[in-house]
Amino acid sequence: MFGALDTATSALIAQRTNLDVIAGNIAMRDVTRNESGQPVPYRRRVALMAADEARDGDVPRVRVSKVVEDSTPYGLRWDPGHMDAIREGENKGYVRVSNVDYHTEMVNAMVAARMYEANVTVAEMAKRMAGAALMLLA
Amino acid sequence: MFLSSVTEHGVAPALEKTLAFQEERLKMIAENIANAQTPGYRTKQLDVTGFQNSLREAMTERRENGNVFVVENEREFGTDEYGYLTVTPSETPVENALFHDGTNISMEQQMADLAQTGLWNDLAAKLLQTKFDGLRKAIRGTV
């Protein structure tokens, strides 16, 4: 009876994870060093959704199957005074920066918020319908 | 036996099947909306008009031939050995160009279907309740 509620809840969790990843991307955009202190900028991450096939007696769910790194190339920013600026070669004076684009992230964040809202609507409807069925007993 | 003959009388079985059908449809819509961003996911659908036609046929069968109320087996719905409604949604055929990630969801359609499901469910529940209220009054003998 509450199957639809479980499906909607799984989507809420997945979308929240998605938003977490997007928040991480926005927060880390200006990071130019990796964990070990080398001048390797942050790589943008993407949450991949996957449909969980319904097992016997269970309802279909959705989940974030994995968080993958975006392999598009890093950007270059002219900043010769920066500590991590490239010292020699043709890109001398440039700093390698992450491949995060604010606009893309903001649009994706809005999509995630809308998807979250849509699933809340489904959950509300599931509650209402279960309520109507339970009222038959009253 | 007596009680089942009372509750199986009239529109009650049709309303009960409608409730069961709309609940399954809600699950399907929930799955569709949950997977709106799943790459390669194709939305599922249920034939509502077909189901309602089946209900009408079952009513006619019962009235004219005195058969038990049974929803005939069709592609997307049917009746199992215990008399319960079975529902197997099918994949929505691809009508327009797919999105980049291979999905074909129309969010507007899903939300409209969701609202429709809720209204059908409310209607069937309300009518069923009215019927049960009438039965209760008849049993008690008071209004």
**Per-residue confidence (pLDDT) for residue A138, from 0 to 100:** 66
Disruptive mutation site among A5, A19, A49, A61 for chain B (greatest number of B CBs within 10 Å)? A49
Residue B48 domain-assigned?
yes
Helices (H), A1-138: 3-27, 102-135
Which are the contacts of B117, defined by CB distance < 8 A and separation ≥ 6?
A125, A129, B22, B25, B26, B29
Number of domains in chain B: 1
Q: Give the closest-approach CA distance of B65 to chain A in angstroms.
A: 30
**Per-residue confidence (pLDDT) for residue B92, from 0 to 100:** 86
How many whole angstroms separate alpha carbon A107 and alpha carbon A100?
A: 13
Contact A39, A84 (CB under 8 A): yes
Q: What is the mean pLDDT of residues B46-70?
A: 87
pTM (whole model) above 0.90: no
Give, for all 138 residues of chain A, the pLDDT tens digit: 678 899 999 999 999 999 999 999 999 999 999 889 898 999 999 999 999 876 777 888 999 999 999 999 999 999 999 999 998 889 999 999 999 999 999 999 999 999 999 999 999 999 999 888 888 876
Nearest to B63 by CA among B18, B14, B126, B130: B14
Q: Give the closest-approach CA distance of B54 to chain A in angstroms.
A: 23
How many whole angstroms separate alpha carbon B134 and alpha carbon B25?
A: 29
Nearest to A18 by CA among A82, A101, A83, A107: A107
Residue B143 domain-assigned?
no
Residue B93 domain-assigned?
yes
pLDDT at residue B57 greater than cutoff 70: yes
ipTM: 0.78
Share of chain B above pLDDT 90, in %: 36
Residue appearing with tokens 């998807």 = A115
Tokens of A138: 């009253």
Q: Which of B26, B107, B125 sits opposite A126 (nearest CB)?
A: B26
Residue B76 pLDDT grade (very low, low, confident, very high; cuts 50, 70, 90): confident
**Per-residue confidence (pLDDT) for residue B136, from 0 to 100:** 86
Residue B4 domain-assigned?
no
CA atoms within 13 A on the CB side of B107: 13
Residue B34 domain-assigned?
yes
Q: Does B37 sit within 8 Å of A7, measured CB to CB?
A: no
Q: Which of B34, B107, B114 sits opposite A11 (nearest CB)?
A: B34
Q: Does B34 sit within 8 Å of A14, measured CB to CB?
A: yes
Q: Does B34 sit within 8 Å of A10, measured CB to CB?
A: yes
For B5-16, write each residue's pLDDT tens digit.
766 778 888 999
Residue B3 domain-assigned?
no
Nearest to B18 by CA among B62, B71, B66: B71
How many whole angstroms separate alpha carbon A31 and alpha carbon A117?
A: 32
What's the angle, vertex CA A7, arms to CA A6 and CA A13, rounded to 5? 85
Residue B44 domain-assigned?
yes
Contact A121, A14 (CB under 8 A): no
**Residue B13 is part of which domain span?**
9-137
Q: Does A118 sit within 8 Å of B118, measured CB to CB?
A: no
Q: Does A125 sit within 8 Å of B26, measured CB to CB?
A: yes
Residue appearing with tokens 């609202």 = B115
Residue B63 pLDDT grade (very low, low, confident, very high; cuts 50, 70, 90): confident
For B14-43, write each residue's pLDDT tens digit.
999 999 999 999 999 999 999 988 888 889
Residue appearing with tokens 């600026």 = A85
Share of chain B above pLDDT 70, in %: 93
Residue B38 domain-assigned?
yes
Q: Which residue of A has its CA nearest to B131?
A: A136
